[in-house]
Structure 1
């Protein structure tokens, strides 16, 4: 079982690795698990967490959750609520469609996902560089410092029944500080990286979208291969159409796609 502080240090270490050349196109370079293991041992000398299976399993679980969250948040009308607890805001009908599309999302609706911004930096395709890299590195160091402060406070507490210990003001959690920082960081850099679609108002990875839409088109009976090729261009050029196609019921997709092809022919 992972403690909250161990997860905080794992997240901080992975953020540091993304800014020091360990992140590659397909994940992280060989040897990164040993780097994380060393980092955890430096903070928690008595830890029994190992690269395999513990760290590898935890990262795999995080990456799966990130992929599911990314898919859910790409849907129209679905986002985080306004309470700041990283829980979803969507209708029952929308959630039913989400679960129908992927059964692994069934129990995700009422959970909080405070590591979302961290996962975007760790698992996203872009690599932090320049000022952004410095800021991510600074955020990771801040998390480490906070964990050490909390550990020092806990180790120094006395349990005497005759001495009253003054109550200290509650410190913000490392996660909340990191989430706020990364949220602000993404707001400042999204425009520069063109990660936010101006037309539909949320992050839209066109390269990944084109790959996914062809897979989806292959599940629609009644289309020729040539039509699928044409539809890749049609949907790729219009993110709104791609969004509508992916979100609609399976039995309605063929008619919609044929209409798109017909409309394109009329425009030509």
Structure 2
């Protein structure tokens, strides 16, 4: 079949054009638009900030002695308001209260309720629990307390025996806890509740052990006819063991109650001492008349919260404190 030369030329040109079109349509590189790049970078920044706020080691900041002291002051103020203390911890909103309080006491510290203050309170409670158990726990015999150094004291052999059962307490052989008295007021109810629950659990476990042991012994008796004297001795032994368990548990609870009572008495004595020192402290306020001193003393003595705040304040703040009371602003 003969072909027209013009058709051949057209076909060649068409093929050439198609080849060019194919080459031009191939994807040779991939890029992003500026809008997408901006969106991606912003998203990464948001995720990073959220991750940083959640923790990532930020709650492990190094607290200074001054920060610890101010936080304990704020906790004491919080407890004395009576608005945030619960049976086993604190009520919702306590972290906001403490964050605001710390912002006033240490405005440049940048301490947040979460994670900083919350984490530090957990550390306070853990340390207090260990020292409290050393001083007032079931194995506290032989331990003392150096009130000047705020340090647990005990002979070497007492420590050796105690650390066999409580190895995590080793650091308190030489570590000071200057805020133990305040922490005992802040956490004492929590610890008393925990100890009571532990003691009741011990009693229940011991009673259960006695009952199970008795049942097992009854089940393995091959002969229903046993020696009467042997049976009486066995029952007498069971009763004595049960009484010993109950007595030991009640003794532990009595010790805990006594320790809690001592802490309450110490707090009351501290408040009485502050009342006695109140007149002396007010006398240090310059240009305060006798009449005004009497009015301020009467107002502070009626309110434990004001008493605690007044004695915790430095001299400059005490002057402002007195003026606020005289102006009837509190």
Say which of 109, 130, 140 aligns to 1:68.
Answer: 130
Higher Rg: 2
Normalised to the residue count of structure 1, the TM-score between the two structures is 0.52
For residues 176 and 192 of structure 2, what CA distance do their matches in structure 1 show?
24
For residues 92 and 197 of structure 2, what CA distance do their matches in structure 1 show?
29
For residues 115 and 99 of structure 1, what CA distance do their matches in structure 2 show?
23
Shift of 1:38: 0.7
Give the structure 2 partner of residue 85 of structure 1.
149
Deviation string 1:116-157 (CA, Å, 9 cap, x unpaired) is: 10110111118xxxxxxxxxxxxxxxxxxxxxxxxxxxxxxx
In the alignment, structure 1 residue 30 sits paired with structure 2 residue 17: no
In the alignment, structure 1 residue 120 sits paired with structure 2 residue 184: yes
For residues 26 and 205 of structure 1, what CA distance do their matches in structure 2 show?
10
For residues 241 and 92 of structure 1, what CA distance do their matches in structure 2 show?
27
Shift of 1:35: 0.7
CA gap 1:26/1:213 in 2 versus in 1, 3 angstroms: closer
For residues 11 and 89 of structure 1, what CA distance do their matches in structure 2 show?
24
For residues 236 and 12 of structure 1, what CA distance do their matches in structure 2 show?
36
CA gap 1:18/1:240 in 2 versus in 1, 3 angstroms: closer
For residues 154 and 110 of structure 2, what CA distance do their matches in structure 1 show?
41
CA gap 1:65/1:206 in 2 versus in 1, 3 angstroms: closer
Give the superposed CA RMSD. 3.5
For residues 88 and 58 of structure 1, what CA distance do their matches in structure 2 show?
22
Give the structure 2 partner of residue 143 of structure 1.
none
Give the structure 2 partner of residue 212 of structure 1.
199
Unaligned stretches of 5+ residues in structure 2: 1-61, 214-237, 257-330
In the alignment, structure 1 residue 55 sits paired with structure 2 residue 79: no
Secondary structure (helix, strand or coil) at the match of 2:171 reads: coil
1:235–1:241 CA contact under 8 A, matched in 2: no
Q: How is 1:169-180 mapped onto 2 (pairs within 5 angstroms)?
A: none
Aligned length: 165
1:206–1:236 CA contact under 8 A, matched in 2: no
CA gap 1:124/1:80 in 2 versus in 1, 3 angstroms: same
Q: How is 1:131-170 mapped onto 2 (pairs within 5 angstroms)?
A: none
Range with greater deviation from structure 2 (106-115 or 116-125): 106-115
Deviation string 1:157-179 (CA, Å, 9 cap, x unpaired) is: xxxxxxxxxxxxxxxxxxxxxxx
Shift of 1:86: 1.6
Runs in 1 of length 4+ with deviation above 3 angstroms? 204-207, 212-219, 222-232, 236-243
In the alignment, structure 1 residue 95 sits paired with structure 2 residue 159: yes
For residues 55 and 6 of structure 1, what CA distance do their matches in structure 2 show?
10
Shift of 1:45: 2.1
CA gap 1:97/1:241 in 2 versus in 1, 3 angstroms: farther
1:86–1:114 CA contact under 8 A, matched in 2: yes
Deviation string 1:184-216 (CA, Å, 9 cap, x unpaired) is: xxxxxxxxxxxxxxxxxxxx9598256237449
Secondary structure (helix, strand or coil) at the match of 2:173 reads: coil
For residues 200 and 184 of structure 2, what CA distance do their matches in structure 1 show?
22
For residues 158 and 188 of structure 2, what CA distance do their matches in structure 1 show?
25
For residues 188 and 132 of structure 2, what CA distance do their matches in structure 1 show?
10
Normalised to the residue count of structure 2, the TM-score between the two structures is 0.43
Higher RCO (C-alpha 8 Å, min separation 6): 1
Deviation string 1:205-254 (CA, Å, 9 cap, x unpaired) is: 598256237449859xx7555868654422234359989xxxxxxxxxxx
